[in-house]
Structure 1
Amino acid sequence: MELRDIEIFLTLAEELHFGRTAERLHVSQARVSQSIKQQERRIGGALFERTSRSVRLTPLGEQLRDRLSAGYNEILAGIEEATAAARGQVGTLHVGTMDTHHQKIATALDLFRQRHPQCELRMREILPTDPFGPLRAGRVDVAMLWLPVREPDLTVGPKLYTEPLVLAIASDHPLAGRERVELEDLGDYPVIDVDGPIPDYVWAAHTPFTTPAGRPIRRGTAVTTLNEALSAIADGGVVSPIGSYAATARLHPGITFLPITDGVALWYAPVWRSAGETTLVRAFVQAATDASRDA
């Protein structure tokens, strides 16, 4: 029995009317009659009792309806699920962001969920000192990272948003009385160093190695996490540029944040393993791009 014949039988069993069945399935009434007759010949018994006024199931028809219904619904569900999977609408997507940056892409996350309700989003935190590790380990499918990213095994998507940098200093630091600072001021004090595999060229976009005048910027305490950095800064031994979103979310009683007048803003973009690109990754990047464009 073909799937279409099963559909015709089950629809007629529900409608109990050849005309309505044909209309509902967008076929001719003759096609419905032909299909039912073929099924009855194949089975060897009547499935429907037909009169000029009514159509009703025979006991054999009721038995066949009950057995076919569950299986037919499972087939349809399987086809729908496979189709959705092929379009990147099901599964689990792990998205990595730094600190509280998931709030910055909240609109993108909402848009992705609206477009792909069967997909589960799981958020993971990316440490600034190891931005590429989770991607390469497969713990994250796509990550929001600051640029530049020049890794041969990674693909960089479109720029989505920027984050200005501020200077974090201890509240009793000599710079604390200033309303703002310049990058040249970093040549006078040691800055946070990183204890992690982040490439120098990536970290230099955040904390340069020389001032605009060419003076070296000394490295001080090495840290792995933002909390470690804030603790070291509060102790007064080091200063550090900090992303303004993190500074807003991590207000600290012993730390003052000063605008950097000539500081550059970090550009963020989605990044993923080139070999790990999937329909879900592409769908997320598209949602993030559309959300950024509409913002």
Structure 2
Amino acid sequence: MELREIEIFLTLAEELHFGRTADRLHVTPARVSQAIKKQERALGAELFKRTSRSVRLTPIGAVLRDGLAAGYQQIQEALAAAATAGQGISGVLNVGYSAAWCGKLVVMAADTFRARHPHCAIHIQDSQLGDPLGPLRDGSSDVQLIELPIDEPDIVNGPVIFTEPRALAVPAGHPLAERDSVSVEDLADAPMVTITGQPQYFLDVHYPRRTPKGRSIPRGPSTSAWQEVLALVGAGKGVSPTSARAAHYYSRPDVVYVPFHDAPPVEYGLLWPATGNTPKVRAFVRTVLETAGA
């Protein structure tokens, strides 16, 4: 009995309907009938009882089904494992992310990826605010979902996955905390808590030095850790731009998040090393795009 004939028999044993079996296997009902008759002739026994209204397994058919099912499943798993290995989708994929909302999407995508590629394990880790590209360069991350822009010759910019409106983290009790929204021009009225370790072009986008009208934006303390940013803001040392979604993930009694009404959104995209454009990275990128779209 050939593998295709086993597939036809097991599918018919499950569906008990020649038409549905043919639809599932993308063949004609006649092809299903021919395969079953061939098997019955070879075995010298009837496998199905057929009437104009029903199809059911005979006792001999049930014995054959039970004997073939486990072996067929093992064959399918072996074929899938070989195909996955042949595509390079095996081993370990290290995935980094920046903000908590990026981590949530990465975890959801990882669940789907594992189901599709069971021979590839995924290790998820958060990237450091002050050195987001370090893991990509030292090999500890294969792909990352982080804030843009990133423009580095050794890093591939993948697709933008989503955007988020901006907000300003301000100390509770600060005059800006009473506003329904703030303007980029308001940044000139309070020292800005900034981060260290990022490329200057990145800082120019997220922590500008001047407002659109040319007013200077004063600098407050700087740090390389997001929790320290919030601690400094909460202590009244300054304000800091961020994603509006931070209000849901990083709620603190001493920090208020006020949305901007005129700031461009924050873009989040996938990055990977220029030397690491592997099949498993490409497969994970596709999975993230599907997950974000859903």
Q: Which residue of 2 aligns with 1:267?
A: 267
Q: Which residue of 2 aligns with 1:171?
A: 172
Which consecutive residues of structure 2, in runs of 5 or more, have no partner in the other structure? 1-34, 39-75
1: CA distance, partners of 2:177 / 2:187:
14
1: CA distance, partners of 2:255 / 2:229:
11
2: CA distance, partners of 1:109 / 1:205:
30
Relative distance call for 1:244 and 1:144 in structure 2 (3 A) is same
Q: Which residue of 1 aligns with 2:89?
A: 89
Cα distance per residue 1:42-85 (max 9 Å; x no partner): xxxxxxxxxxxxxxxxxxxxxxxxxxxxxxxxxx9988655422
Relative distance call for 1:145 and 1:99 in structure 2 (3 A) is closer
Quick check: 1:205–1:266 contact (8 Å CA) kept in 2?
no
Quick check: 1:191–1:240 contact (8 Å CA) kept in 2?
yes
Q: Which residue of 1 aligns with 2:191?
A: 190
Quick check: 1:88–1:283 contact (8 Å CA) kept in 2?
no
1:122 aligns with 2:127: no
Report the residue type matching 1:132 in the other structure.
L
Q: Which residue of 2 aligns with 1:13?
A: none
2: CA distance, partners of 1:251 / 1:127:
20
1: CA distance, partners of 2:205 / 2:124:
25
Report the residue type matching 1:209 in the other structure.
R
Report the residue type matching 1:265 in the other structure.
P
* Residue 280 of structure 1: how far off its partner (Å): 1.0
Quick check: 2:98–2:147 contact (8 Å CA) kept in 1?
no
Instruction: Work out the number of aligned pairs and report it.
Output: 227
Quick check: 1:147–1:205 contact (8 Å CA) kept in 2?
no
1:236 aligns with 2:236: yes
Report the residue type matching 2:210 in the other structure.
T
2: CA distance, partners of 1:176 / 1:289:
36
Q: Give runs of ≥4 in structure 1 deviating > 4 Å.
A: 76-82
Report the residue type matching 2:131 in the other structure.
D
| SS of residue matched to 1:104 | helix
2: CA distance, partners of 1:105 / 1:122:
11
Identity value in percent = 36
1: CA distance, partners of 2:114 / 2:164:
25
RMSD: 2.8
2: CA distance, partners of 1:104 / 1:77:
28
Relative distance call for 1:99 and 1:146 in structure 2 (3 A) is closer
* Residue 137 of structure 1: how far off its partner (Å): 1.1
2: CA distance, partners of 1:278 / 1:84:
13
* Residue 176 of structure 1: how far off its partner (Å): 1.9
Report the residue type matching 2:257 in the other structure.
F
* Residue 125 of structure 1: how far off its partner (Å): 0.6
2: CA distance, partners of 1:128 / 1:243:
14
Which consecutive residues of structure 1, in runs of 5 or more, have no partner in the other structure? 1-22, 27-75
Report the residue type matching 1:165 in the other structure.
R
* Residue 115 of structure 1: how far off its partner (Å): 1.6
* Residue 120 of structure 1: how far off its partner (Å): 1.1
Q: Which residue of 1 aligns with 2:44?
A: none
Q: Which residue of 2 aligns with 1:209?
A: 209
2: CA distance, partners of 1:109 / 1:269:
16
